[in-house]
Amino acid sequence: MTCAGCGATLEVGALFCENCGTKVGGALGGAVAPTTLDVPVTATDEDSPISVPTAINAKAVVVSAPQTKTCTECGGTVGAEGYCDQCGTKAATERDHFREHPAPWLAGVCDRGIVHSRNEDAMALWADPASTATTGRGVLVVCDGVSSSKDSDVASLAGARAARDVLRAPMPKGLGVPESIEGAAIKVSVSAAAAANTAVMANTAPSSESPASCTFVAATVDPVAGPVGASAAADPDVGPVAGAAPDSRWQIRYAVIGDSRAYWLPDGAEGVQLTTDDSMAQMLIAGGTPKAEAEAAPQAHAITKWLGRDSPDIVPVVGALVVDQPGWLLLCSDGLWNYASEPAAIVAQVTSAATTEPEALALALVDFAKASGGHDNITVAFARLDRAGLEIAAPDAAGSADEEREGHG
């Protein structure tokens, strides 16, 4: 026998559910006194309704009666076990599909897809409350939980949020010389990956034979100020951009472990994939196999680096890019790029969506991936960098992307 309020198994002869306090045989939705339980606290995040368990213990958690849910397919009532009483469709949970929109210029969507039974993807976004698309500072993190690992859905979300909280601090400048600036930035990316790894390990059972694990891709966006013709000495970390006006450039820094990706998609120009996958497919590509063939090969999506207790290497590959024209920074899981791997294919979808709203664009690309099969969880996060009204020189193709390098602790 199960509780009509929360679905928990009831003891024989029980008058009230020990889990939620609902009276056995009573009407669901009536006044039920809150119950204090001695259970681990669930930490909530101010940016999202999704909760992540933590290692913190507490003795005062108030549990209220669950709310009646309506089926999104037929309008019927969702029963206590999570299925529609009328059509039998399993009800979506908050974890199946959630969105974050910390600023008008930065947003993302994380979706279960069609085939998988749970959403093991995660994202965590942040933007300076005072920022705009022309002066914005933001953070984007995407983690893709490995489906063969237990608790990867919980661990990936915890990891994404831990990394975001490291990256939201202002980027350090070291001693002010180029080598020091670059070294300080790399250390921040390494620290973010380490924090994510710690969170992932904290959310998997120590005795688990299949510990939680996930991929990791993160990016920060910082405005770069400098007068027209600024010299490299004036801004040694970036260097000059011909004709650049004050605040006319952005510094994008990114870090990756696994096969989630970052792309830069400038308006009216060819996009570029910023990150390189840690995967069997990439190993084939490095050996000379054409990209399309490598990505369709058996075990192509087997990753060679990841976060988690059994990871062989948690040091990310990092890189940087200075942009001086409007466009989109995209971070995504393989649930999207499975169907549009080349930058040109993603640009085509962005163009087709015909919107400058990041959440609307993220939803459009999630819908595209689901319409294409939805065989995996899908996460799409966009930052819109817009230089409307500024006279910006045409970008130098040779300087479109800085070199990637292995992070150093």
Mean pLDDT of the chain: 78
Query: Residue 132's pLDDT band (boundaries 50, 70, 90)?
Result: confident
- Is residue 363 pLDDT above 90, yes or no? yes
pLDDT at 174: 67
Q: What is the pLDDT of residues 196-222, one digit of tens each?
A: 999 999 988 888 888 999 999 999 999
Using DSSP's 3-state secondary structure scheme, residue 338 falls into coil
Which long-range contacts does 385-389 make (Cβ < 8 Å, 24+ apart)?
Answer: 385/105, 385/133, 385/136, 385/221, 385/250, 385/323, 385/326, 385/327, 385/328, 385/329, 386/105, 386/133, 386/134, 386/326, 386/356, 387/134, 387/248, 387/324, 387/325, 387/326, 388/134, 388/326
pLDDT at 247: 53
CATH code, 97-406: 3.60.40.10
Q: What is the pLDDT of residues 158-167, one digit of tens each?
A: 999 999 999 9
pLDDT at 124: 98
**Can you tell me the mean pLDDT for 41-47?**
43
pLDDT at 4: 63
Query: Residue 13's pLDDT band (boundaries 50, 70, 90)?
Result: low
Q: What is the pLDDT of residues 225-284, one digit of tens each?
A: 554 333 333 333 443 333 344 456 889 999 999 999 999 999 989 999 999 999 999 999
Q: What residues does each domain of the chain span?
A: 1-91, 97-406
